[in-house]
Amino acid sequence: MAEYQSKILIIGSGPAGYTAAIYAARSGLNPILVSGTEIGGQLTLSEDVENYPGIEHSIRGQELMDIMKKQSLNLGVKIINDKIVEVDLNNRPFECSSENHNVFYTQSIIIATGASAKWLDISSEKPYRGFGISVCATCDGFFYRGKNVAVIGGGNSAIEEALFLSNFASSVTIIHRRDSLRAEHRLQQKIANKPQISIKYDSVVEEFIGTETTPKLEAIKIKNVKSDKIETINVDGVFIAIGHKPNTEIFQNQLELDKFGYIKTQPNSCKTNIEGVFAAGDVKNPEFRQAIIAAGSGAIAAMEAIRWLEK
């Protein structure tokens, strides 16, 4: 249990958080970054990252995040492995309390707590997360060229993922729990013209099957919820697209959030409705969910915070 004082406190250790920390440290502001429990954020679940500039071939998501952490430490960022569980943004300095009973007093805050993809949360799913089961087709789809994949979900994201995957995969099976898609009509029309995409309606995943030692997904067992019929489909990869949840519980009643719970920021800016509080990355931007976008957003938030502190 300790008390910390800072000019900038960064909450979150994904690409947005580390980038904000790097910019703040290089401005001589001695930022503190509180990492959260999932150190490195969503990218640590990516099998291989090829679309982040500066990487010659490909890199595991975990490795890329370890490099960002080391870069931040080398520049003097103080990183604390802890989770903020309560914030008071009504008084200055702002006060944040953590799971380990640390208290952080700070003049400005950059919130980079991200969003979490929803998983199916069945027991056989865990061993293959990041090893055949992905929550991001843009990130991992390329590795399934000529392979058979399935997409779980029936909303806009699921259909967009299926359309994207149909550029690489030889077959894409959408598995949806109801008898009609939630996705917009225009997207449904697009998949109708793609012979490699098929849909299994009224179906839920019962089990992921493969080799667990060096995790390799081989098939999924699905159940038709109307007939109870069980079917096994051979797949090399599964993309789960059943929605995301912004990590903003602690900011409810403190900051303006949109109807989905994402932090509202001013146009082309990371400024929230409270002066001195900035939001960066997926916690504010559900549209582009990419590491490079989050990193850029972290840089903007830091530059805005630096200018605000100078004032």
Site for ligand NDP, rule CB under 6 A = 120, 152-158, 160, 177-178, 182, 241-243
Query: What is the rounded distance in angstroms from the CA atom of residue 61 to the CA atom of residue 289?
Result: 14
* Residue 140 among the catalytic residues: yes
Per the rule left: phi > 0, alpha: psi between -120 and 50, beta: everything else, 234 is beta
Q: Which two tokens stand for residue 92?
A: 């200055």
Size (the chain), residues:
311
Least separation in angstroms between residue 292's CB and ligand NDP is 19
Shorter beta-carbon distance to ligand NDP: residue 106 or 285: 285
* Residue 96 among the catalytic residues: no
User: Which of the residues 82, 88, 96, 140 is marked catalytic?
Assistant: 140
**Helix residue ranges, H only, the chain:** 15-26, 61-74, 137-140, 156-165, 185-192, 291-310
Shorter beta-carbon distance to ligand NDP: residue 111 or 151: 151
Give the other-Cβ count within 10 Å of 57's Cβ. Answer: 6
Give the N- to C-terminal CA distance of the chain in Å, as an integer.
Answer: 33
138: nearest Cα among 43, 245, 51: 51
Least separation in angstroms between residue 212's CB and ligand NDP is 22
Least separation in angstroms between residue 272's CB and ligand NDP is 21
The answer to whether 21 and 10 have CB atoms below 8 angstroms apart is yes
The CB-nearest residue to ligand NDP is: 155
User: Which of the residues 48, 139, 236, 282 is marked catalytic?
Assistant: 139
Least separation in angstroms between residue 145's CB and ligand NDP is 23
* Residue 258 among the catalytic residues: no
Residue 187, beta-bridge partner list: none
Shorter beta-carbon distance to ligand NDP: residue 110 or 135: 135
Give the other-Cβ count within 10 Å of 303's Cβ. Answer: 16
User: Which of the residues 136, 236, 270, 282 is marked catalytic?
Assistant: 136
Which residues are known to be catalytic? 136, 139-140
